[in-house]
Amino acid sequence: MGKSYADWKLSQSSVTEPDEVEEAYKKVIATLSPEQEEVITKYCDQIFNSGAETEEFFYRLGLKDGLHLKTVVKKVIRSLS
């Protein structure tokens, strides 16, 4: 899966380089007060955590579908034998 993801990620076009985005983020954060920086950081963390939960949810659904498909294919093969 890791190799497939890496291959897919390389084939995706990116509008901006990650380094550019990170540099822009650092510049903005540097202009904020510590309290504002903490709020922004918590917000970003919440977005990332939400994305991870969504990814896990869809992964589990895909795994469940795959196991169901395996069972159906085995039944079809048995009926053809």
Q: What tens-digit pLDDT sequence spans the chain (81 residues)?
A: 567 777 777 777 766 577 888 899 889 999 999 999 999 989 988 988 888 888 888 899 999 999 999 999 999 999 998
Kindly report the CA angle at 59 between 6 and 50, in degrees rounded to 5? 90
Tokens encoding 12? 């995706």
User: Whole-angstrom Cα distance, residue 57 to residue 49?
Assistant: 12
Tokens encoding 42? 């918590």
User: Whole-angstrom Cα distance, residue 41 to residue 32?
Assistant: 11
Domain spans of the chain, in order of start: 31-80
Tokens encoding 59? 């992964």
Whether the Cβ atoms of residue 32 and residue 40 lie closer than 8 Å to each other: yes
Model-level pTM? Answer: 0.49
